[in-house]
A and B are shown apart, each in its own frame.
Chain A
Amino acid sequence: MPNPIPIPTPMPRLQLHGISKRYPGCLANDGIDLCIQPGEIHALLGENGAGKSTLMKIIYGVTHADSGDMHWQGQRVSLRNPAQARSLGIGMVFQHFSLFETLTVAQNIALAMGATAGAPQALAPKIREVAQRYGLVLEPQRLVHSLSIGERQRVEIVRCLMQDIRLLILDEPTSVLTPQEADELFVTLRRLASEGCSILFISHKLAEVRALCHSATVLRGGRVAGHCRPAECSDQQLAQLMVGDAAQWLVDYPKASGGATFLTVSGLSWANPDPFGCSLHDIDLQVRSGEVVGIAGVAGNGQDELLALLSGEQRLPRQDASRIAFADQAVADLPPDARRRLGQAFVPAERLGHAAVPELSLADNALLTAFQQGLVSHGLIQRAKVVALAETIIQRFAVKAAGAQAPARSLSGGNLQKFILGREILQQPRLLVAAHPTWGVDVGAAATIHRALITLRDAGAAILVISEDLDELLHISDRLAALCGGRLSAQQPTASTTLSEVGAWMAGQFDRPHSPAPALA
């Protein structure tokens, strides 16, 4: 349960008045008011692009507001840089960590603290003490590259706690954690808040905001859409504040059981040449036509490696070709275009720079993967057909873009993702592999993408979705598995699993009936 709600005081910890920030072509923050009391856990909710990141960068002194004032404990301040923010007692944990992998935890913290770190030998006990006080398990002498993502996040949090912290900002902290790890984080945060530290918690996951936060400010399109007490609001009400119209959002899709197996992965192992990368061990997976199989897992547990092997960017030698098969045809040694000819379509995790070329137009990006669909004749590009295809995708999937000639990078994340997914779906694939299909996408676009995937499933395609978002996987997949340390759990029908069971798989606790138990040493 959340701590008792702090009583409003005449002198709030942080108060913002009419903060506005304009970037070329967009008003990121438009007259934002925000008030955080000492000891309050305050959620900043909003879709991607609602202006959350800009606002917290302003609070942390990374960027500067065009207008508006910021009051810190009753005194007006104007922050010039993060160092000044830290000196006031503001700490921030970014979504992407800034740690040196080859240094130890203590060395990383010493680097971040600068001159205030003091003597190196005195630092390690102090780190241990701070970590223990807040229930964070952390060994100062370990090298960062050997830490899991959750542990790395603890390093960042401890780094903030080493100073006299009065406001801790966390940017989507749970997006990299298993549900269990997230619960542990919440314990730490509640303890911090009970000691009087204010916490600004940025998220778009409604359930955890309701469980953790005292109050919430919801942003939509750069403005404050409303303030509320999340414990007293339903998902529907919160979602409505975030997107305006949430009626279509909470749809339940009936689960399907599929037909004949299309994709078969059997005994797939792959040794990663990158010493910090993840190797795959003995992966078994079947995806039937007409079903969605979801693979959960925390990032860095072999997702990228599995995806590269499935797409054909990483090929196996000929003798291992049958490790991956499309309806009995061995494909593991085939390049991506050959696999596409056999009916595969693919949505990689990164939209810009992998799925789409940022500088090229949408038309050219449509051609990028659809070139085997009669768009090239005698070596020449059939420009009219390419443009027509791009326009069809834009229209069918409601992509907001200036037209087929707009460069891919000019689109917002959600719109580009709809375009990429549309491009793959219109090729009428027999197998679609989609990685993180709604990562960083707003609620409305995510709903469109889910509906498109389910429609494709119902049309008889086999679909494999690899995602870090467990809610999403429970929502759309018919069967579920989880990757941990390069091993894949067995696949279970979604209807007969629970959140905590999948959480345990994500942490590596699964029986592997298919492989012999490791010999005792």
Chain B
Amino acid sequence: MLLSLEPRGQHSRLMLWCSPLLAAALTLACGSLLFIALGHDPLLTLHTLLIAPISDGYGVSELLVKALPILLCALGLAVAYQARIWNIGAEGQLLLGALAGSAAAVHLIDWQSRWALVLVLGTGTLAGALWAGLTAWLRTRFNANEILTSIMLNYIALNLLLFCVHGPLKDPAGFNFPESAMFGEASRLPLLTAEGRVHAGVYFALLALVAVWVLLQKSFIGFQIKVLGLDKRAAAFVGFRHKRLVWLALLISGGLAGLAGVCEVSGPIGQLVPQVSPGYGYAAITVAFLGRLNPIGILFASLLMALLYLGGESAQMSMNLPPAITQLFQGMMLFFLLACDVLILYRPRLNLRWARRAPATHVQAGAL
């Protein structure tokens, strides 16, 4: 091997900060090459992808609206992933939160009191938590792999939602479209600005951000979750309750995803539709890892992911770039970010072996 990686032995502080910058530079360079090869002006394309979407107030508000559900889901996932519980079910937990919240909102459609909103949000959060609780129960009771169960529950959640939106929750006055009735004003999240669609869900996201940060960085529960994830034997040795921690991590994870779902339907959408989520729950998995399971890192990563969503859309519209190209660009960015992280733990070394190979005679087998 010409280039080899040597373990550093411990984290490099410098690389912890430099690796995202290096990844950004590599992405921009390779992205430019890609766009040149396709016959587009690289600077213009990059501008359309990364700068144009947030060049005005409306763009910024759209960025926040998109980032919000990703952030909430990813924060929850970070808690589960710290315990090495691979919850892939944020999408399903989000959909079920949206579904249950919508069911509550449709029943409370005539309420004028603000308590309606509280009930709707509470129902959604609880539903998401319970949906994740199914995974926790299967894991702790039957030792079923949570990756498989949570993925399968995603499809069940999606089909439940489709069933309800085509059946029990369909708006009777909706010309047979698969949509619920528009929620009552009392169960809608208030907008924060006159322009744009930013809604009060931002406060929940900030609150969740602080709460998860305290949980993971400051609390003893978070410490137990971390130990469970790093070293199950050590956790058992000091008597941390394995099952209880699995339940807790999954309930938090599911609750936050459910909150993300119910914020979508009672915020920007205002009713239950089949396409509540364009895959926020899946994007959140990437975001959680991009942010290195650190709440602050996740905040930035979710903004970046939302920007890539928006940029992809605007490049399709204004430059006629096929969606595959923008996805390729997104993939490239994620690849470089994760690849550069290797440098945090490893030091690259050029091996010029031919230059210093000893002139010793290699004894052939059986020569002696």
Which positions in A face B, CB cutoff 8 Å? 24-25, 69, 72-73, 75-78, 80, 83-84, 87-89, 311-313, 335-338, 340, 346, 348, 350, 353-360, 364, 367-369, 371, 376, 379-381, 383, 407, 410
Whether the Cβ atoms of B368 and A355 lie closer than 8 Å is: no
Q: Which B residues between 216 and 245 are near A, CB-CB below 8 angstroms? A: 218-221, 223, 226-227, 230-231, 233-234, 236-239, 241
Chain B residues lying within 8 Å of A84, measured Cβ to Cβ, are: 363, 365
Whether the Cβ atoms of B233 and A353 lie closer than 8 Å is: yes
CB-CB under 8 A for A25 and B9, given A72-B368, A354-B237: yes
Whether the Cβ atoms of B220 and A371 lie closer than 8 Å is: yes
Measured CA separation A15–B363 after assembly (Å): 16
Q: List 11 A-B contacts (CB under 8 A).
A: A75-B361, A84-B365, A337-B238, A354-B237, A357-B227, A358-B230, A359-B230, A359-B231, A367-B223, A379-B221, A380-B220
**Chain B 342-358 interface 0/1 with A at a Cβ cutoff of 8 Å (1 = within):** 00000100000000001
For residue B272, give the distance in angstroms from its CB to the closest CB of chain A: 37
Measured CA separation A80–B227 after assembly (Å): 41
The residue in chain B whose Cβ has the minimal distance to the Cβ of A77 is B363
Chain A residues lying within 8 Å of B214, measured Cβ to Cβ, are: 380
Whether the Cβ atoms of B360 and A69 lie closer than 8 Å is: yes
Which positions in B face A, CB cutoff 8 Å? 6-10, 214, 218-221, 223, 226-227, 230-231, 233-234, 236-239, 241, 347, 358, 360-363, 365-366, 368
Chain B residues lying within 8 Å of A376, measured Cβ to Cβ, are: 220
> Which interface residue of A89, A313, A357, A376 has the most chain B CB atoms within 10 A?
A357
The residue in chain A whose Cβ has the minimal distance to the Cβ of B241 is A335
Whether the Cβ atoms of A340 and B239 lie closer than 8 Å is: yes
Whether the Cβ atoms of B360 and A24 lie closer than 8 Å is: no
The residue in chain B whose Cβ has the minimal distance to the Cβ of A370 is B238
The residue in chain A whose Cβ has the minimal distance to the Cβ of B7 is A24
Measured CA separation A359–B363 after assembly (Å): 43
Contact of B234 among A80, A368, A383 (CB under 8 A): A368
> Which interface residue of B237, B362, B366 has the most chain A CB atoms within 10 A?
B237
Chain B residues lying within 8 Å of A78, measured Cβ to Cβ, are: 358, 360-363
Chain B residues lying within 8 Å of A75, measured Cβ to Cβ, are: 361, 363, 368
For residue B230, give the distance in angstroms from its CB to the closest CB of chain A: 5
Measured CA separation A24–B221 after assembly (Å): 36
Chain B residues lying within 8 Å of A88, measured Cβ to Cβ, are: 363, 368
Chain A residues lying within 8 Å of B220, measured Cβ to Cβ, are: 371, 376, 379-381
Chain B residues lying within 8 Å of A369, measured Cβ to Cβ, are: 237-238
Whether the Cβ atoms of B231 and A348 lie closer than 8 Å is: no
Measured CA separation A124–B234 after assembly (Å): 44
CB-CB under 8 A for A357 and B223, given A78-B358, A312-B239, A336-B238: no
Contact of B10 among A338, A367, A410 (CB under 8 A): A410
For residue B268, give the distance in angstroms from its CB to the closest CB of chain A: 35
The residue in chain A whose Cβ has the minimal distance to the Cβ of B215 is A379
Whether the Cβ atoms of B223 and A355 lie closer than 8 Å is: no
Whether the Cβ atoms of B237 and A355 lie closer than 8 Å is: yes
Measured CA separation A178–B107 after assembly (Å): 77
Whether the Cβ atoms of B238 and A354 lie closer than 8 Å is: no
Measured CA separation A364–B28 after assembly (Å): 40
Chain A residues lying within 8 Å of B363, measured Cβ to Cβ, are: 72, 75, 77-78, 84, 88
Contact of A311 among B6, B9, B237, B361 (CB under 8 A): B237
Chain B residues lying within 8 Å of A72, measured Cβ to Cβ, are: 363, 368
Whether the Cβ atoms of B218 and A346 lie closer than 8 Å is: no
Contact of A335 among B8, B233, B239 (CB under 8 A): B239
Measured CA separation A312–B238 after assembly (Å): 9
Contact of B233 among A354, A379, A383, A407 (CB under 8 A): A354
For residue B162, give the distance in angstroms from its CB to the closest CB of chain A: 41
Chain B residues lying within 8 Å of A87, measured Cβ to Cβ, are: 365-366
CB-CB under 8 A for A73 and B368, given A356-B234, A360-B230, A379-B221: yes
Measured CA separation A87–B367 after assembly (Å): 9
Q: Which 4 A-B pairs have the closest CB atoms?
A: A336-B239, A337-B239, A78-B360, A87-B365
Measured CA separation A367–B234 after assembly (Å): 12
Contact of A357 among B9, B219, B230, B366 (CB under 8 A): B230
Whether the Cβ atoms of B227 and A368 lie closer than 8 Å is: yes
For residue B226, give the distance in angstroms from its CB to the closest CB of chain A: 8
Chain B residues lying within 8 Å of A89, measured Cβ to Cβ, are: 368
Whether the Cβ atoms of B239 and A338 lie closer than 8 Å is: yes
The residue in chain A whose Cβ has the minimal distance to the Cβ of B240 is A337
Measured CA separation A75–B362 after assembly (Å): 10
Measured CA separation A346–B214 after assembly (Å): 30
For residue A34, give the distance in angstroms from its CB to the closest CB of chain B: 17
Measured CA separation A77–B214 after assembly (Å): 60
The residue in chain B whose Cβ has the minimal distance to the Cβ of A68 is B358
For residue B214, give the distance in angstroms from its CB to the closest CB of chain A: 8
Measured CA separation A337–B242 after assembly (Å): 13
**A-B contact sample (20 more), CB < 8 A, given A24-B6, A340-B238, A353-B233:** A24-B347, A75-B368, A77-B360, A78-B363, A84-B365, A87-B366, A312-B239, A336-B238, A337-B239, A353-B234, A355-B237, A356-B234, A357-B227, A357-B230, A369-B238, A371-B220, A380-B218, A380-B219, A381-B220, A407-B10
Measured CA separation A177–B363 after assembly (Å): 37
Chain B residues lying within 8 Å of A358, measured Cβ to Cβ, are: 230-231
Measured CA separation A87–B223 after assembly (Å): 53
Chain A residues lying within 8 Å of B8, measured Cβ to Cβ, are: 24
Whether the Cβ atoms of A313 and B237 lie closer than 8 Å is: yes
For residue A433, give the distance in angstroms from its CB to the closest CB of chain B: 12
Whether the Cβ atoms of B236 and A313 lie closer than 8 Å is: yes
Chain A residues lying within 8 Å of B366, measured Cβ to Cβ, are: 87
The residue in chain A whose Cβ has the minimal distance to the Cβ of B233 is A354
Measured CA separation A371–B241 after assembly (Å): 14
The residue in chain A whose Cβ has the minimal distance to the Cβ of B366 is A87
Measured CA separation A78–B360 after assembly (Å): 6
Chain B residues lying within 8 Å of A336, measured Cβ to Cβ, are: 236-239
For residue B5, give the distance in angstroms from its CB to the closest CB of chain A: 11
Measured CA separation A263–B317 after assembly (Å): 77
> Which interface residue of B220, B230, B239, B366 has the most chain A CB atoms within 10 A?
B239
CB-CB under 8 A for A381 and B234, given A78-B362, A87-B366, A337-B239: no
Measured CA separation A255–B223 after assembly (Å): 42
Chain A residues lying within 8 Å of B10, measured Cβ to Cβ, are: 407, 410
CB-CB under 8 A for A353 and B218, given A69-B360, A336-B239: no
Measured CA separation A139–B366 after assembly (Å): 31
For residue B219, give the distance in angstroms from its CB to the closest CB of chain A: 5
The residue in chain B whose Cβ has the minimal distance to the Cβ of A386 is B223
Chain B residues lying within 8 Å of A25, measured Cβ to Cβ, are: 9
Measured CA separation A475–B255 after assembly (Å): 58
For residue A470, give the distance in angstroms from its CB to the closest CB of chain B: 27
Whether the Cβ atoms of B219 and A360 lie closer than 8 Å is: no
Chain A residues lying within 8 Å of B234, measured Cβ to Cβ, are: 353-357, 368
Chain B residues lying within 8 Å of A69, measured Cβ to Cβ, are: 358, 360
The residue in chain B whose Cβ has the minimal distance to the Cβ of A83 is B365
Chain A residues lying within 8 Å of B361, measured Cβ to Cβ, are: 75-78
Contact of A381 among B9, B223, B233, B236 (CB under 8 A): B223
Measured CA separation A78–B237 after assembly (Å): 46
Measured CA separation A83–B366 after assembly (Å): 11
Chain A residues lying within 8 Å of B226, measured Cβ to Cβ, are: 360
Whether the Cβ atoms of A381 and B218 lie closer than 8 Å is: yes
Measured CA separation A84–B230 after assembly (Å): 39
The residue in chain A whose Cβ has the minimal distance to the Cβ of B218 is A380
For residue A462, give the distance in angstroms from its CB to the closest CB of chain B: 20
CB-CB under 8 A for A346 and B237, given A367-B223, A380-B218: yes
For residue B244, give the distance in angstroms from its CB to the closest CB of chain A: 11
Whether the Cβ atoms of A24 and B236 lie closer than 8 Å is: no
